[in-house]
Amino acid sequence: MCGIVGFLAPGRDPGAFPDTILRMLGAIAHRGPDGVGCLVDDGCAIGVARLSIIDIALGTQPMSDSTGRYWLCYNGEVYNYQELRAELELKGRTFRTRSDTEVVLQSWIEWGEACFGKFNGGFAFAIYDRETGTLVLARDQFGKRPLFYRQRDGEFLFASEMKAFLHYPGFAFEQDPQQLSAILAQWTPLPDQTGFTGIASLPMGEWLKVTADGLTRQRYASLTFEDGPSVGSEDEAIALIRERLRASVVLRLRSDVDVGVYLSGGLDSAIVARLTADMTRRPLSTFSITFEDPQFDESPEQLELAARLETRHTPLRITPADISRHFPEAIFHAEVPAFRSAFVPMFLLSKRTQEAGIKVVLSGEGADEAFLGYDLFKETLLRTNWRKLDDEERRCQLAKLYPHLDHYGPQNIAAITGLYQQFSEERMPGLFSHELRFQNGRFSARLIRSPGDPFGPIAQLVRQNPAFAGLTPVQKAQWLEYQTLLPGYLLSTQGDRMSMAHGVENRCPFLDKSVFELAAAVNLRFDDGFEEKRLLRRAFQDYLPTSIIEKRKFPYRAPDAAAFAASPSDYLELVLSDAELAKLPFLDRKFARALTAKVLSQNAAEVSTKENQSFIFLLSIALLRRSFVDRGGVCRVSAPRHVKCIDMRQRSDLAANYASQGNLSSVV
């Protein structure tokens, strides 16, 4: 795992390029603590901060082909690289290393853009063609690895994390109220949104090319629900689930370093841990978050599983004070506004994981989206069929929807029925499944004084996808999850950004194309969907403790506003002081003040979900303004270690006149 940065700046004097690229790399050095490498050329510089996992000795980057024409900066893993390498060798290609990096480079040279669809993994990379001056960027299908870019004034910048742009000469961050409004409303950024003016995220499953003629962006992979196998029976489905998940874990254990597992206490990570433990000779290292407050804690299941699998288990107890203390640093790494605080414990867990010497962890992300684990899917089914059900059936199904929420209890079921009555018909075209969720979002969007239509961009995203209209209501809900919450929060703010803050790579066996295709082929074929992930449970019922198999969905959460009320920190001044709030000119300050006063003074049980998430959003936006727009707070650069820079410059006085193959040299 690594971090990558680069820029095309044909109009600038390349004399300063080494300093600029190394400073940009320094800003993301946490992603690659094992060393940095860069290539500087006339009009271009690219670089990598490297975390060595496969072929530690020879996988140095940027990596070129034997002619010195193509240069690759690569972040992530292509898990099927051994198979692709064999295919490439049959075509006569030869390799200098054992690394997947070289396989990616050779794949591009051999297959061009057709290579992207062959990659099974989580990756983001850039390939610079010295001959044509072309730059190509690509990102994996599910959005596991980040890649941001900006094109302006004839220059093009890219980076794994936006904080690298802080060190590009003349770069200024500006928060974009319209994007923020959309993020608040839909809970997460859309695939191309960042919250900052002029900076885009390359959407998952897309690649782009920058030439002298401009920028083109193309999609190479889409989420389709029809590519799975034909499955005749439930038993066959269960056997296939075990088989494909096992194969997915095997691929993700390809590593030259020890691999650990994050145990949440739920079914998905338990399956991953069981499969991993079966395949590793040494005791497996597992890591968990625990809370004092039983409404958040899953320790009993974590400990039971760790004991059963005889893992080297590390629990990390999180207090409200931990969340309050580390929120600014964690949101600086997240870079986009967050709607809940649960990413902060993950930031601390990855630190503990790194301290234990583990560089790679497997986790259960992606299971709920693929196998219909979220209550949202049941809710969609219920609301779709609402008019066909009688009152008793409605109440019966409602009672099963959100058992962990007190206000869905039997004493309130009539009121909840009344609420659902309001949402039994589609009001927002294409977004039926998410209309209740977006109610909370509408509330949060009130933080922006002139929010426009906060759902305009997501409505457009849906309209632009020709296949969307033909999906079932539940598939539409899944599709939206794969566009929003999964890449926009779970894999990023709570996933990659937190684990990579401490140089830990997170791999997700459920985010394998073959696993998703199978799930799509068997979902709702053998049950009504009201027992979430029933097939997954059945597939592993003989392999895991009963307590985990029978446990209902327990959403991973952490204390939100209550953590800040219990342990107030100095930086709360950012949302308490009128002068500080005035630095966010797009904010509805009156609403922000009233919200803050309410959530910080009331009993936690009296603060609603939408108020909690609006407050976390507000705090995020204020802290991101401080770090990125004003460059204050936790904004910092690490001095790169083990620097190798390849200097190809011809124009600058500072450049050595190297041959076209370049020369490895240290520049700092």
Q: How far apart are CA 584 and CA 616, in angstroms?
A: 15
Whose tokens are 């961050």? That residue is 173
Q: Which of 299, 608, 638, 652 binds another protein (CB under 8 A)?
A: 608
Residue 405 in contact with residue 548, Cβ under 8 Å? no
Q: What are phi and psi of 653, to 5 degrees?
A: -65, -30
Q: How far apart are CA 311 and CA 302, in angstroms?
A: 11
Q: Which of 210, 358, 370, 445 binds another protein (CB under 8 A)?
A: 445
Taking the complex as a whole, the smallest distance from the CB of residue 108 to another protein amounts, in Å, to 46
Asked if 439 interacts with another protein (CB under 8 A), we say: yes
Residue 5 vs 182, nearer CB to another protein: 182
Instruction: Report CA torsion sign: 182, 610, 501, 623.
Output: positive
Residue 201 vs 433, nearer CB to another protein: 433
Taking the complex as a whole, the smallest distance from the CB of residue 419 to another protein amounts, in Å, to 5
Beta bridge partners, 111, equal none
Q: How far apart are CA 263 and CA 314, in angstroms?
A: 10
Which among 244-252, 412-420, 465-473, 497-505 is the span making contact with another protein, rule CB under 8 A? 412-420
Beta bridge partners, 217, equal 208
Instruction: Report CA torsion sign: 275, 474, 221, 458.
Output: negative
How many C-beta atoms lie closer than 10 Å to residue 81's C-beta?
Answer: 24
Q: Which of 384, 412, 465, 652 binds another protein (CB under 8 A)?
A: 412
Asked if 419 interacts with another protein (CB under 8 A), we say: yes
Taking the complex as a whole, the smallest distance from the CB of residue 418 to another protein amounts, in Å, to 4
Taking the complex as a whole, the smallest distance from the CB of residue 420 to another protein amounts, in Å, to 9
Residue 317 vs 442, nearer CB to another protein: 442
Q: Which of 111, 171, 220, 408 binds another protein (CB under 8 A)?
A: 408
Cis peptide before 337 (omega within 30 of 0): no
Q: How far apart are CA 212 and CA 605, in angstroms?
A: 58
Q: What are phi and psi of 541, to 5 degrees?
A: -65, -25
> DSSP class of residue 147?
-
Q: Which of 57, 172, 414, 469 binds another protein (CB under 8 A)?
A: 414
Q: In which region does residue 602 sit, left (phi positive, over 0), alpha (psi from -120 to 50) or beta (all else)?
A: beta
Structure tokens at 535: 């097939």
Q: Which of 109, 436, 566, 667 binds another protein (CB under 8 A)?
A: 436
Asked if 632 interacts with another protein (CB under 8 A), we say: no
Taking the complex as a whole, the smallest distance from the CB of residue 606 to another protein amounts, in Å, to 9
Asked if 385 interacts with another protein (CB under 8 A), we say: no
Structure tokens at 385: 């069929």
Taking the complex as a whole, the smallest distance from the CB of residue 401 to another protein amounts, in Å, to 10
Residue 354 vs 602, nearer CB to another protein: 602
Asked if 447 interacts with another protein (CB under 8 A), we say: no
Taking the complex as a whole, the smallest distance from the CB of residue 369 to another protein amounts, in Å, to 23
Beta bridge partners, 315, equal 288
Asked if 530 interacts with another protein (CB under 8 A), we say: no
Taking the complex as a whole, the smallest distance from the CB of residue 455 to another protein amounts, in Å, to 11
Taking the complex as a whole, the smallest distance from the CB of residue 604 to another protein amounts, in Å, to 13
Residue 454 vs 633, nearer CB to another protein: 454
Asked if 570 interacts with another protein (CB under 8 A), we say: no
Restricted to residues 388-407, the positions that interact with another protein (CB under 8 A) are 391, 405, 407
What does 454-495 look like in DSSP terms, one character per residue? TTHHHHHHHHH-TTGGGS-HHHHHHHHHHHTHIIIIITIIII
Q: How far apart are CA 551 and CA 301, in angstroms?
A: 9
Residue 427 vs 525, nearer CB to another protein: 427
Taking the complex as a whole, the smallest distance from the CB of residue 328 to another protein amounts, in Å, to 25
Asked if 422 interacts with another protein (CB under 8 A), we say: yes
Whose tokens are 């992530």? That residue is 76
Structure tokens at 623: 């802290």
Which among 120-128, 290-298, 350-358, 417-425 is the span making contact with another protein, rule CB under 8 A? 417-425
Question: How many residues contact another protein, by CB under 8 A?
Answer: 32
Instruction: Burial-class residue 28 by CB neighbours within 10 Å (0-12, 13-18, 19+).
Output: buried
Taking the complex as a whole, the smallest distance from the CB of residue 443 to another protein amounts, in Å, to 4
Whose tokens are 């240290």? That residue is 666
Asked if 598 interacts with another protein (CB under 8 A), we say: yes
Q: How far is CA 447 from the centre of its chain?
A: 25
Q: Which of 366, 441, 503, 559 binds another protein (CB under 8 A)?
A: 441
Which residue ranges make up the site for another protein (CB under 8 A)? Answer: 391, 405, 407-408, 412, 414-419, 421-422, 427, 436, 438-443, 445-446, 590-591, 594-595, 598, 608-611
